Structure 1
Amino acid sequence: MPRESGNVKLKAARQHAGYASQQALADALARAGVELGEADAEVSIRQVRRWESATPPWPHAVHQRLLEHTLGMSVEQLGFTPPWGGQSERQAAPVRSGAAAHPIVLPLPPPAPTTTTQPAALAVDYAAVTRAHRRLYWRVQPPLIRSAAAEHARFGAQLLSEVGGMPRRALAAALAESLLLVGRIEFFDLRQPVEADAKFVEALQAAGAADDQLLGAAILGHSAFVPGWAGDRDGAAERLRAARAYARRADSVPASFTTWLYAVEAECETRCGKHREALRVIGQAEDTLAGGDETPLPEWFDWFSPVRLASFKGNTQLKAGHLPQARQTLLQVLENLPEEHRKQRTVVLGDLAAVAAAEGDPEAACARAVEALDQLSITWYATGMDRIREVRRALEKWGDRECVTQLDDRLYEWRTTLIALQR
């Protein structure tokens, strides 16, 4: 397949912000011109095409303002190089205006020079550390592994300018995976969606440098959780469409990967209150998985499995009010979930507690919630704590019951309270 080229930074930022086509970005820039009092500043699709080319021209000052306002990143971070060389002084300051604004992100360095200063084995060594972080994620406290992976990503971004050819692409792929891991930790483990969203942009830029379409699809799939969990159904759908477009361009797409994208869609639909649609999508996911597929999975695709799909299904059934089905599904998940998947176990226990609360059984709900807290004492997981807090709100009518007050004692003990406040 042809290698993707051009200004991948601008293209990644455009797609991440929800503009699927160059025309959509041109229209958004025109609207931004009206908002900023620059209505005469015309931007055509031809201009956007030039900006996304392999040699993008330096935008005029008015176009710089429109791009930064619309995409929330400096022009240097969008892949433009000042004609005077180096970085402009404005690169040090984050862009704050615009509906799509992100915190400042670490820009990737320009393409490697014709002569490299590092051996090709550097990419292999860097990827080995990335793999170690991937395994440590399941065992190490989130702040610790996040700090290590983020520093590793900063190191990788600096190394890119010293490696060329195929080793550069391998290094960029490992960097993209590291940035994706940081984003996952920030979103699911620490509940920092704004920071996570910015990391997904950086990860997509690195995947573009690696020309890894499937990894780009995985990053976009994760980024769909951000608007989806905030109730922005259209925003989540746009990012999932982009993820599927990237996946179609990959050399091969394992059935498990396609199933995971369905699961992400179902989760977002559930969060947006579209429970019937979510259950329909879960059915599509199950049909895809049942079809069988011998295509090997990428090594980095370690966050999804059939039991994880069942966990998605159980939560959707719970939210849809199908309580007996949800209980049966979640109990099967709990039985089949590997012991080392403690974070997911917390979520499943929280959902089982919610089923019991919805059925009017506060004692059973509290017992499951305490089990979930026991898991959290081993490995913190903000998503799991969110589930427990939802259960506690549902138990308010039984607030004077002994089981509920005992749950409060566990929920608000010194260590748990301090960790929650710190997060």
Structure 2
Amino acid sequence: MSRPAGNTRLKNARLAAGYNSQQALADAMSAAAKQIGAAGLEIGVRQIRRWESETPPWPQADAQRVLTHLLGQSIEQLGFTPPWGSDGQSAPAPGRRSPIAGTMSAVGLATVPTAASTPQPASVGIDYAAVTIAHRRLYWSVAPAQLHPAIAQHARLGCHLLPDTAGACHRTVAAALAESYLLAGRIEFFDLQQPAQASETLVHALQAAGEADDPLLGAAILAHTAFIPGWAGRRDEAAERIVAARTYARRGHATPAFLAWLDAVEAECETRCGNTSTALHLIGHAEDLLTTGPDLPVPPWMDWFSPARLAAFKGNTQLRAGHIPQARETLCQVLDALPADADKQRTVVYGDLASVEAAARNPEDACAYAGQALDQLAVTWYATGMDRVRDVRRELAPWQHERCVRELDDRLYGWATTVSALQR
């Protein structure tokens, strides 16, 4: 017999907030209670276990305050059903509400109705997933500010559909919804530079993946949540999320390529936190997985990773470690290996090569690569790529009176570029 899933909404919100055990959440709640005026509240791991069961009891008022304070969601979004029901008289029938119903209200869209309407046919899962797949493909060419609203509306539709599906169709819609939330979170973090919004969106993605019972998709979402503290230099928090991602990957029987990507994510977080030696070791392990492990397919939604993109991670880490000749060689090889549609990654590589030449005291070559990055950004905007160009400009400060640097400034601070950057 299959093991009951329990209150997956609370479990996933706990993990996404960085509490990797029930005891960790219990300790955090007891500490937070004193800070928000609920000093008499004492929470033990047994209570957390009850809340994460199949039939979680309705928390008392002080416990609700602390839970919502720590996890950033309403008590209903955390999987609790009020004993008096939504109509103030009787509790809603079991199974009539999706575990993620209502989550879109947290991201500024209309609240999803809690009552079921007409049951959906089995084909709705295939149709809904087809749109998710189309969005996945469009990400590589459509401007993120234009694509993001469409994805958000599609996720809202998924929240409406999910309560009215069952069986395999239910799992298909939930998995597609999780992927849509993941894509929205990726755009918010990498393209629009909205880490707080991305963090909230990725929690919803994890809840949907739990509804689909898809541990591999859950692992991918958790790994993306690690980028947020990792890029901010909060190494311990990023490391905890990577541990959670690896745990889910193990449950999902991840392929060597998927595990190599997890190494790459951890390596980038370590690099951002200044631990380049650790990062290079992780990248070496990822390279071994790709070259010696069995060549098994990755999930179709994992279209953001390849040996060339791993090499791009490596080149950036070599640059930050001060291994300038090695970084130049690696990044030039990446440019040759990237597919034609890898416009966003190409922008980042041009920016890193510009930094390599600035570090080598070759300002003209640095400006030339920065100019190529700007050419690509004019075609496909990518905030992470523009960050690389701005980093290079700061590195070129010793040569700011040179003609090549002034010409770069003319492009970097032209009317169109400046207005566009401010709008984004």
- Sort the TM-score into its range (normalised by shorter chain): over 0.9
TM-score of the superposed pair, with normalisation by structure 2: 0.93
User: Where does 1:10-409 land on structure 2 (aligned, <5 Å)?
Assistant: 10-86=10-86, 104-105=106-107, 117-250=119-252, 252-409=253-410
Q: Structure 1, residues 90-120: CA drift from partner, whole Å, max 9, x if none?
A: xxxxxxxxxxxxx93479979996x961101
Distance in 1, Cα, partners of 2:152 & 2:106: 15
Asked whether the equivalents of residues 6 and 54 of structure 1 are also in contact (C-alpha less than 8 Å), the reply is yes
Opposite residue 372 of structure 2, the aligned amino acid is E
Query: Structure 1 residues 127 and 50 mapped into 2: Cα distance closer, same or farther (>3 Å)?
Result: same
Asked whether the equivalents of residues 175 and 214 of structure 2 are also in contact (C-alpha less than 8 Å), the reply is yes
Opposite residue 248 of structure 1, the aligned amino acid is R
Q: Which ranges of structure 2 fall in alignment gaps of 5 or more residues?
A: 89-104
Query: Structure 1 residues 107 and 329 mapped into 2: Cα distance closer, same or farther (>3 Å)?
Result: farther
Opposite residue 170 of structure 1, the aligned amino acid is T
Distance in 1, Cα, partners of 2:2 & 2:263: 27
Query: Structure 1 residues 107 and 53 mapped into 2: Cα distance closer, same or farther (>3 Å)?
Result: farther
Measured after TM superposition, the shift of residue 394 of structure 1 is: 0.4
Distance in 1, Cα, partners of 2:87 & 2:322: 55
Distance in 1, Cα, partners of 2:8 & 2:110: 12
Q: Structure 1, residues 60-105: CA drift from partner, whole Å, max 9, x if none?
A: 00100111121122111111112222299xxxxxxxxxxxxxx934
Opposite residue 11 of structure 1, the aligned amino acid is K
Opposite residue 325 of structure 1, the aligned amino acid is Q
Opposite residue 225 of structure 1, the aligned amino acid is F
Alignment size in residue pairs: 407
Q: Which ranges of structure 1 fall in alignment gaps of 5 or more residues?
A: 89-102
Distance in 1, Cα, partners of 2:229 & 2:219: 16
Query: 3-state DSSP class of the match of 2:106?
Result: coil
Distance in 2, Cα, partners of 1:225 & 1:24: 22
Measured after TM superposition, the shift of residue 166 of structure 1 is: 1.7
Distance in 2, Cα, partners of 1:117 & 1:69: 36
Asked whether the equivalents of residues 76 and 87 of structure 1 are also in contact (C-alpha less than 8 Å), the reply is no
Query: Structure 1 residues 112 and 266 mapped into 2: Cα distance closer, same or farther (>3 Å)?
Result: farther
Query: Structure 1 residues 58 and 117 mapped into 2: Cα distance closer, same or farther (>3 Å)?
Result: same
Distance in 2, Cα, partners of 1:296 & 1:316: 27
Opposite residue 346 of structure 2, the aligned amino acid is R
Distance in 1, Cα, partners of 2:416 & 2:345: 21
Query: Structure 1 residues 107 and 298 mapped into 2: Cα distance closer, same or farther (>3 Å)?
Result: farther
Query: 3-state DSSP class of the match of 1:104?
Result: helix
Distance in 1, Cα, partners of 2:7 & 2:415: 50
Please name the residue that 1:415 is paired with: 416
TM-score of the superposed pair, with normalisation by structure 1: 0.93
Overall identity of the aligned pairs, in %: 62
Asked whether the equivalents of residues 346 and 384 of structure 1 are also in contact (C-alpha less than 8 Å), the reply is yes
Asked whether the equivalents of residues 4 and 54 of structure 2 are also in contact (C-alpha less than 8 Å), the reply is no
Asked whether the equivalents of residues 227 and 233 of structure 1 are also in contact (C-alpha less than 8 Å), the reply is yes
Q: Which runs of 4+ in 1 moved over 6 A?
A: 106-113
Distance in 2, Cα, partners of 1:86 & 1:279: 54
Measured after TM superposition, the shift of residue 231 of structure 1 is: 0.5
Distance in 2, Cα, partners of 1:412 & 1:238: 40
Opposite residue 308 of structure 1, the aligned amino acid is R
Q: Structure 1, residues 118-153: CA drift from partner, whole Å, max 9, x if none?
A: 101001100000000001111111111111111101
Asked whether the equivalents of residues 358 and 366 of structure 2 are also in contact (C-alpha less than 8 Å), the reply is yes
Query: Structure 1 residues 204 and 111 mapped into 2: Cα distance closer, same or farther (>3 Å)?
Result: farther
Please name the residue that 1:94 is paired with: none
Opposite residue 139 of structure 2, the aligned amino acid is Y
